[in-house]
């Protein structure tokens, strides 16, 4: 009950820089990178926690999604859109995700995505 109240509170708190995504335990969720589709991405970094732990990257044409044990085998990164798919969601996946993007014209952007995980 306490947890539910906290979630409701967060949901009504305004936060313009956030994009929210809701997923369900055991299902998949795709976090949109927010990349401009007209630009070609050269580097993608998906990060979690305040210490910026890497979970998925595209660096020099190579996708790597096994940085962090808890997500092993559950992530896929789309190298053109920058979107991150998390499969078989657990309640622990609910948190803020940060994505840093660099395109081939050396333009940088960063976006935050708040993932909520619900029980169906
Ligand atoms: C999640 O993704 C996997 C692999 O792409 C797929 O086999 C599975 O059906 C998806 N699950 C749901 C609930 O969509
Ligand atoms: C992408 O390019 C097309 C055609 O040049 C333009 O119409 C569209 O607004 C652009 N999209 C973004 C997000 O900049
Ligand atoms: C970053 O923070 C997470 C959660 O607080 C922790 O589990 C992880 O070990 C930390 N990583 C490093 C490199 O300090
Ligand atoms: C993106 O990945 C696909 C296959 O997963 C590959 O064919 C393609 O060359 C990759 N594109 C870039 C720009 O790396
Ligand atoms: C990757 O993203 C592009 C652009 O959004 C989309 O057309 C393509 O189908 C995606 N690839 C996969 C494997 O989901
Ligand atoms: C999903 O994760 C649970 C544990 O969180 C595991 O027991 C189950 O086998 C996983 N399902 C798939 C399809 O990977």
Could you tell me what percentage of the chain is helix, strand and coil, using 3-state DSSP and rounding each to the nearest 5? Answer: 15, 45, 40
Q: For residue range 72-107, what is the model confidence (pLDDT) as tens digits?
A: 999 999 999 999 999 999 999 999 999 999 999 999
CATH number at residue 46: 2.60.40.10
Which of 80, 85, 86 has most ligand 5 atoms within 8 Å of its beta carbon, as the pocket-test mutant? 80
| Alpha-carbon distance values, 64 to 59, 81, 112 (Å) | 8, 15, 20
Whether the Cβ atoms of residue 101 and residue 113 lie closer than 8 Å to each other: no
The parent domain of residue 109 ranges over 2-118
79 lines ligand 4 (CB under 6 A): yes
94 C-alpha to ligand 1 centroid (Å): 18
71 C-alpha to ligand 3 centroid (Å): 14
What is the average per-residue pLDDT within 38-45? 97
Based on the structure, what is the number of domains in the chain? 1
79 C-alpha to ligand 4 centroid (Å): 6
Assess whether pLDDT exceeds 80 at residue 18. Answer: no
Burial of 72 (0-12, 13-18, 19+ CB in 10 A): exposed
Residues framing ligand 2 (Cβ under 6 A): 36, 38
């Amino acid at each position: 009950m306490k947890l539910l109240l906290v979630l409701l509170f967060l949901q009504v708190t305004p936060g313009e820089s956030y994009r929210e995504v809701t997923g369900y335990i055991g299902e998949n969720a795709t976090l949109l990178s927010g990349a401009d589709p007209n630009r070609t991405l050269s580097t993608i970094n998906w990060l979690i926690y305040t210490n910026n732990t890497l979970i998925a990257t595209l660096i020099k044409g190579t996708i790597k999604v096994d940085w962090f044990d808890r997500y092993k085998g559950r992530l896929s990164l789309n190298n053109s859109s920058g979107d991150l798919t998390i499969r078989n969601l657990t309640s622990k996946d609910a948190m803020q995700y940060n994505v840093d993007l660099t395109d081939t014209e050396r333009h940088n952007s960063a976006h935050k995505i708040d993932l909520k995980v619900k029980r169906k």
